[in-house]
Homo-oligomer: A and B are copies of this chain.
């Protein structure tokens, strides 16, 4: 996603540097010689490439730092990068998920606050698949950040095919985009169960699960102190829509729906070079919700069912997912305002 994001940035005439972590040196090297191996096309010629060792020249004189690691790379990479990033430079994140600091799960914004007092933080989320952004498919996304960050950042990125909207609800956006990877697994499981027997003729069930997913994301956003409208917007509904239709978390779910065990699928996909981040996000979110918002877990029947399917011992996944449909439609406000126990 970091690489795809260089297209609108470079086309807008910005000085764009793409630095790869120690895991990305081969990608940087291959991109120098031709096509970006994941996007299957060369990057914009103005993008300057930096291997992992070249972090200092990459950061020299920057106006903004954009992070696009996997969620489990967020803390390790930023622990390495922040000490050499000039103070006052805003950090904007394309990463979606949770962080773990001192064995405690937290939102990425909370992790940043642990790592630095000298950088403001913004999150980006919305229905944008990297390969489509690189292909210039019309896309819109949201930056949630303090106004001064989004005011200065959005114009760098706005292009005719890529629209950037502003929000101040960092918490709501972070929660929404982390959880959409989780709920995309549920929709993938549904596809896995029915595709072979019903072809493409089973829209009722996934549509109901999609609706339930949004309702539960909104409930968690509300509990975490975000604005439920964020869940009902591009960062929630929009991003879940695109994630559930294709991608690694859907594929992870589909293989489970066809009968495989979750942990085997996760490892099998990793060996194929595909990380299902929703698996990590589900485990993290389950711990985070139960620890920070006691009582909330019980109000999330689809989340609970998915947790049981992936980490428990549910034997009949179809029946388990069907049981979710029987719960009354939730109203996020009806849960009452939850109090967070601690904010690491």
Please give the distance in Å from A303's CB to the nearest CB on chain B: 17
Residue numbers in B under 8 Å from A328 (CB-CB): 165-166
Residue numbers in B under 8 Å from A128 (CB-CB): 204
Q: How many copies does the complex hold?
A: 2
State how many residues of chain A have any CB contact under 8 Å with chain B. 55
Residue numbers in B under 8 Å from A286 (CB-CB): none
Among A94-128, those with CB < 8 Å from B are: 126-128
By the criterion CB–CB under 8 Å, are B232 and A138 in contact?
no
* A270, CB-defined interface residue at 8 Å: no
* A50, CB-defined interface residue at 8 Å: no
- Chain B residue at minimal CB-CB distance from A158: B326
* A260, CB-defined interface residue at 8 Å: no
The complex places the Cα of A77 from the Cα of B142 at a distance, in Å, of 47
* A329, CB-defined interface residue at 8 Å: yes
By the criterion CB–CB under 8 Å, are A325 and B211 in contact?
no
By the criterion CB–CB under 8 Å, are B207 and A245 in contact?
yes
Q: Using known A-B contacts A138-B205, A207-B239, A211-B127, determine if residue A234 contacts B165 with beta carbons closer than 8 Å.
A: no
The complex places the Cα of A2 from the Cα of B239 at a distance, in Å, of 35
* A129, CB-defined interface residue at 8 Å: yes
Among A79-95, those with CB < 8 Å from B are: none
By the criterion CB–CB under 8 Å, are B326 and A163 in contact?
yes
Please give the distance in Å from A11's CB to the nearest CB on chain B: 16
Residue numbers in B under 8 Å from A133 (CB-CB): 204
A142: which of B142, B160, B204, B329 is its contact (CB, 8 Å)? B329
